[in-house]
Amino acid sequence: MSSSQQLVSFEQQGAIGHIVLDNPPENRINREFYAQLGRSARQALRAGCRAVLIRSAGPDFSLGGDFTEWPSFGTHAAKKERFSFSNGILQMIESLPMPTISAVNGRAFGGGFELALHTDIIVAGAAASFRFPEVTLGVSPLAGGAQRVAERAGRAVATRMVMLSELMTAEEAYRTGIVARVVPDAELQAKAEAMAEQLSKGPTRAHEATKLVISTWSTSGVRAADEVMIGAVVDLLDTRDCRAGVDAAIEAHAAGRPRPDTAFTGE
């Protein structure tokens, strides 16, 4: 494959960054795919996007890693470097300071599933499905999928999905907390874009704080998240968005009017 082949594209539409996966026929993920994914995420950051939407150009979100490249990793060091590289990009996406959404259509297997799990919100089409097929290759998930399913849905769900390689429907993924919303397949893109639009008009700095608090809870527990929360809220009180929202609320309260919607700037 030529490194110039476009596998992942980025387009800014208003305040939303669209990252489109386009490696037909299965959106298999290899090193170049990850490199372009990372570049797209950095473009969204540099452009000041206030929400990011990741979606597929094909019938499936992604069937996972391109295992045909694995035999070329000749040494232990080469294997470690390759997976450190790809996981670093996924962790960078997970740490973006704006809300991120995955719009999952069709199959999200292996690394494709794991990519979606690194975003804040997964919106799935009704016919979407999720699976970890790694056990059929003699390995375990390579990009943080097991622990992120455990975080969202619990240890038992993660264990059976990984060890038994069970296929999970969109509806079950919703019931277990892996997926935030299930919508008709024909409405997936429109619904995901509407959610991204809503998030992009919100208080972006507050959304960043929410991500930080939840991330801290995930790694260090409730008490640590409480401490981070206090610092984050104190900082938020000085933002332009918070001052505008509070001033409007005080004015409306004094006048006996309903609180108006605030036009947040993300600052």
Residue 213 shares a structural domain with residue 196 = no
Residue 211 shares a structural domain with residue 139 = no
Tell me if 3 is assigned to some domain.
no
For the residues 85-102, what does the mean pLDDT come to?
97
Nearest Cα to 96, choosing from 2, 210, 182, 221? 210
Residue 24 has pLDDT above 80, yes or no: yes
Residue 69 shares a structural domain with residue 161 = yes
Residue 196 shares a structural domain with residue 149 = yes
Tell me if 260 is assigned to some domain.
no
Alpha-helical (H) ranges within 97-221 are 110-117, 145-153, 155-163, 170-175, 188-200, 204-220
Q: By three-state DSSP, how is residue 114 classified?
A: helix
Mean pLDDT of the chain: 95
Residue 173 shares a structural domain with residue 70 = yes
Tell me if 264 is assigned to some domain.
no
Task: At 211, give phi and psi (nearest 5°).
Answer: -60, -40
Residue 62 shares a structural domain with residue 157 = yes
Handedness of CA 16, 22, 25, 28 (dihedral sign): negative
Burial class of 6 by CB neighbour count within 10 A (0 to 12, 13 to 18, 19+): exposed
User: What pTM was computed for the model?
Assistant: 0.94
Residue 28, domain CATH: 3.90.226.10
- What's the CA gap between 148 and 140, in Å, rounded? 13
Using one digit for the tens of pLDDT, what is the confidence trace for 120-141?
A: 999 999 999 999 999 999 999 9
Residue 3 has pLDDT above 60, yes or no: no
Residue 131 shares a structural domain with residue 228 = no
Q: At what angle do helices 155-163 and 145-153 cross, to 10 degrees?
A: 140
- What's the CA gap between 116 and 150, in Å, rounded? 14
Q: Which active-site residues does the annotation give?
A: 114, 134
Range of the domain at 227: 204-255
Number of independent structural domains in the chain: 2
Residue 225 shares a structural domain with residue 117 = no
Residue 171 shares a structural domain with residue 247 = no
